[in-house]
Chain A
Amino acid sequence: MNTPLLISIEHLTRHYGELTAVNAVSFDLKRGEVLGFLGPNGAGKSTTMQMITGNLAPSAGKISISGIDLLDQPKLAKAEIGYLPEQPPIYKELTADEYLRFCAKINGIQRTAQASAVDKVVERCGLGDVRSRLISNLSKGYQQRVGIAQAIIHTPSIVILDEPTVGLDPIQIREIRKLIRELGKEHSVILSTHILPEVQMTCDRVQIINKGQLVYSDSIDSLNQSMQATTLLVQFENPPADEALAAIENVKQVDRLADNRFRINFTTSPAKQIAIEAVNNNWGLLELSPEQKTLEQIFVEITSSEHNIEQQTEAEDAA
C-alpha cells in the first residue's frame, strides 16, 4: 500500500513495420481507480493493453507495475495483473470448473487455496449454475464471465479488460458493468471500450487514444462538467415570435427548428422564466429540456482534431 501508483507507463511505443501503433504514450494508474480507455477502432487500445500485460514487447518505453519493471522481472510483474483479452482465452473442451482450476494453478495459487479461489470467483461472476458444464456449451455472456473469472482468480491488484461487453445482450451488458464496478472497489481496473456510456457508467477517469497518441486524459467528473448543458430545447403549440423569446432574461440566441421547436443558447438557465412567459401568453408549452453535450460529441471533437496535435508537436519539435 506504500506505492500509490500501481502502473506507471512512460513513453510506450510500438511499431508494426512502418506503422506506429502506439506512439510515446505515458500514463499512471492509482490504486482503486477504474480507468476507461477509449478510442476508435485501430487507435492502439489493444496494442497498449497487450504491452502492459506482457503479451507484446514494446519497441521503446518503460512499464512498471507496483514498482516492478515488467521487462526486467516479467514473472513478478505478471502475477500482479489479470487480463481479459478481446477474445476470452478459454479452453472450450474443459468445464468451467476445470478451466478455472487450471488458471489457479498456472497463476501460482497454493495447492490448498486453489479450491477456495475457484469457489470465490465462481460466486463473484455468477457462474454457480454452469460451473460443471463444458465451456463450449456456454453462451457468449457466460464465456465472457468465465474470462473475467480467469482474470481475477489470483486477486491481482490490476485487472485489465479489453472490450468486455462486445457481443453481449443488453441484460448481460448490465450485469458485466455491475461486475466491473464491483471489481473497482478492490482492484484497479483498466477498461478498454469504444462504447461511451459504458465509460460514463463505470469509470473514475477517462483516457482517449487516437492514432496511437493519448489525446485526452481527465477524471469523469470534469468530463461531465464539460458536458454541461448550454442550450435548451423548447417546443410550443402556439409558437411566439423569435423576438419575444430573445427578450427573455439570460437568453443569448434563439434558433428556430422544425415542428415549432426552438433551441435557446443561454448563459444561466432561463427555463423558469420561459415557463412563466409561456403560461402568461398562452404559448402552449409542450417541451422544455436542457440539451446535454454527449460524450459522443466530445469524443468526435477530440479524435477529429488530430491535425491540431500534429501542429502542436511540430511546434514542439521546432522549439
Chain B
Amino acid sequence: MNIFTIAARELRSLFLSPLAWSVLGVVQFIFAYIFLAQLNTFIQVQPQLANLENAPGATELIATPLFATSAIIFMLVIPLITMRVIAGERANNSLTLLFSAPLSMTEIILGKFFGVLGFLICMAVLLAAMPLSLGFSGTLDYGLLFSAWLGLLLLVASFTAIGVYMSSLTQQPVVAAISTFGILLMLWILDWSSDKVSDPNATGALEYLSILRHFEAMAKGLFSSADLMYFIIISASFLILSIRRLDGDRLQR
C-alpha cells in the first residue's frame, strides 16, 4: 500500500516534469524512425526471402532488431529518469518527509523503483505497439515478440535498479546519471575484452556477466530461466544495496 502510494507520487511527479515528456517524445520519435527503417529494409528484401527455404519472418527481421536497438536507447535514457529519484529529493530536503513518516526504507526504495518502472513500461508499451500494428496486415510470431519484449522489460528493470542505487549514493542528480550510465555501458561491453573476439560462443565469466548476452538470447526468442534469474538477481541486489545505503544515511559514518 505504502509502496503503491510512493510509486504513484513518483510517477505523477515524472509526468508533471518537462524532462519526462521530452524524453518520451524524443525517444518515441527515434523508435518510430528505427521501426520505419527496419520495415523499409524488410520490404526491400522480401522478394529474395520468398525464394528461401525456412526464411526469417517479419517479426525476426523487424521486431527483434527494433527491440535490440531500443535497448541501447533505454541505456541512454534511464540514467536521466532515475537520476533524481533519491539524489534530487536529498538535494531538495524532501527525503526528510519520507524518513519522518512511518515508512520503512524498503517501502521507500521499492516505491521509487516501481514508480520509475511504471514510466518506462509506458515507453515499452508504446514501443511494442509499433510491431504489433503489423498484425493487422500480416502474420506475426507473437511468441517471439513477447519473449523479446519481456527480455526488454527485464533489461529495463535491471537498468532502473542500478539507476536507483546510483541515485541513492549522491546528492547531485548529474553525478548519479553519469555513474549510472558508466555502469550500464560497462555491463554492456563487458565481454568485449574476452575470448568472444576469437570464439563467438565462449562461455567465460565475463560473457556470463555481460548483460547483452542474456538480452540477446531472449530477443531471439530463447527464453531460459538462467537469463531470467540473471535479471532478477541484478535488480534485487541493486535494490537491496539501495535500501542499505538509505539506511546508512541515518547511521554513524
Residues of A within 8 A of B (CB): 15, 17, 53-57, 59, 74-76, 78-79, 81-83, 85-94, 98, 102-103, 105-108, 150
Q: Are B251 and A75 in contact (CB under 8 A)?
A: no
- The stretch among B52-60, B73-81, B101-109, B178-186 that forms the contact with chain A is B101-109
Q: In the complex, which of the residues A88, A92, A106, A107 contacts B6, with contact meaning CB atoms closer than 8 Å?
A: A106
Does B252 belong to the interface (CB within 8 Å)? yes
Once bound together, how far apart are the Cα atoms of A74 and B103, in whole Å?
Answer: 9
Q: In the complex, which of the residues B13, B104, B253 contacts A94, with contact meaning CB atoms closer than 8 Å?
A: B13
Q: Are B93 and A54 in contact (CB under 8 A)?
A: no
Give B9-52 interface residues, CB cut-off 8 Å to A.
9, 12-13, 16-17
Once bound together, how far apart are the Cα atoms of A83 and B97, in whole Å?
Answer: 8
Give B45-99 interface residues, CB cut-off 8 Å to A.
92-99
Q: In the complex, which of the residues A81, A87, A94, A105 contacts B93, with contact meaning CB atoms closer than 8 Å?
A: A87
**Complex contacts, A98 vs chain B, CB 8 Å:** 12
Where chain B touches its partner, the secondary structure class is helix
Does B203 belong to the interface (CB within 8 Å)? no
Given contacts A91-B94, A94-B13, A107-B101, 10 further A-B contacts (CB under 8 A): A54-B100, A57-B250, A57-B251, A59-B252, A79-B102, A91-B92, A94-B12, A107-B102, A108-B102, A150-B97
Q: Return B93 CB to nearest CB of chain A, in Å.
A: 4
The residue on B at minimum CB distance from A105 is B5
Q: Are B103 and A106 in contact (CB under 8 A)?
A: yes
Q: In the complex, which of the residues A15, A57, A78, A85 contacts B102, with contact meaning CB atoms closer than 8 Å?
A: A78
Q: Return A106 CB to nearest CB of chain B, in Å.
A: 4
Q: Are A94 and B16 in contact (CB under 8 A)?
A: yes
**Complex contacts, A78 vs chain B, CB 8 Å:** 100-102
Does B2 belong to the interface (CB within 8 Å)? yes
Q: Are B96 and A106 in contact (CB under 8 A)?
A: no
Q: Return A245 CB to nearest CB of chain B, in Å.
A: 58
25 contacts between A and B (CB under 8 A): A54-B100, A56-B250, A57-B251, A74-B102, A74-B104, A75-B103, A78-B100, A79-B102, A81-B100, A82-B100, A83-B96, A83-B100, A86-B93, A89-B92, A89-B95, A89-B100, A90-B94, A91-B92, A91-B94, A103-B97, A105-B5, A106-B2, A106-B97, A108-B2, A108-B102
Once bound together, how far apart are the Cα atoms of A15 and B103, in whole Å?
Answer: 25
Residues of B within 8 A of A (CB): 2, 5-6, 9, 12-13, 16-17, 92-104, 250-253
**Complex contacts, B6 vs chain A, CB 8 Å:** 106
Known pairs A15-B252, A93-B16, A106-B2; A75 contacts B104 (CB<8 A): yes
Q: Are B99 and A57 in contact (CB under 8 A)?
A: no
Once bound together, how far apart are the Cα atoms of A57 and B246, in whole Å?
Answer: 12
**Complex contacts, B5 vs chain A, CB 8 Å:** 102, 105-106
Q: In the complex, which of the residues A89, A91, A92, A102 contacts B96, with contact meaning CB atoms closer than 8 Å?
A: A89
Once bound together, how far apart are the Cα atoms of A15 and B253, in whole Å?
Answer: 9
5 cross-chain pairs, A with B, having the tightest CB-CB distances, nearest first = A89-B97, A87-B93, A83-B100, A89-B94, A75-B102
Once bound together, how far apart are the Cα atoms of A77 and B252, in whole Å?
Answer: 21
**Complex contacts, A56 vs chain B, CB 8 Å:** 250
Q: Are B99 and A54 in contact (CB under 8 A)?
A: yes
Q: Are B100 and A57 in contact (CB under 8 A)?
A: no
**Complex contacts, B96 vs chain A, CB 8 Å:** 53, 55, 83, 85, 89
Once bound together, how far apart are the Cα atoms of A33 and B162, in whole Å?
Answer: 47
Once bound together, how far apart are the Cα atoms of A92 and B99, in whole Å?
Answer: 18
**Complex contacts, A105 vs chain B, CB 8 Å:** 2, 5
**Complex contacts, B253 vs chain A, CB 8 Å:** 17
The residue on B at minimum CB distance from A98 is B12
Once bound together, how far apart are the Cα atoms of A53 and B103, in whole Å?
Answer: 12
**Complex contacts, B98 vs chain A, CB 8 Å:** 106
Once bound together, how far apart are the Cα atoms of A55 and B108, in whole Å?
Answer: 14
Q: Return B184 CB to nearest CB of chain A, in Å.
A: 27
The residue on A at minimum CB distance from B13 is A93
**Complex contacts, B9 vs chain A, CB 8 Å:** 91, 102
Once bound together, how far apart are the Cα atoms of A93 and B18, in whole Å?
Answer: 11
Q: Are B250 and A54 in contact (CB under 8 A)?
A: yes
Q: Which of B13, B95, B99, B104 has the most CB of A within 10 A?
A: B99
Q: In the complex, which of the residues B93, B251, B252 contacts A85, with contact meaning CB atoms closer than 8 Å?
A: B93
Once bound together, how far apart are the Cα atoms of A98 and B15, in whole Å?
Answer: 14
The residue on A at minimum CB distance from B247 is A57
**Complex contacts, A17 vs chain B, CB 8 Å:** 253
**Complex contacts, B250 vs chain A, CB 8 Å:** 54-57
Q: Which of A56, A83, A105 has the most CB of B within 10 A?
A: A105
Once bound together, how far apart are the Cα atoms of A126 and B97, in whole Å?
Answer: 21
Known pairs A94-B16, A102-B9; A89 contacts B102 (CB<8 A): no
Once bound together, how far apart are the Cα atoms of A86 and B94, in whole Å?
Answer: 11
**Complex contacts, B103 vs chain A, CB 8 Å:** 75, 106
Once bound together, how far apart are the Cα atoms of A106 and B251, in whole Å?
Answer: 23
Q: In the complex, which of the residues A53, A59, A90 contacts B100, with contact meaning CB atoms closer than 8 Å?
A: A53
Once bound together, how far apart are the Cα atoms of A57 and B250, in whole Å?
Answer: 5
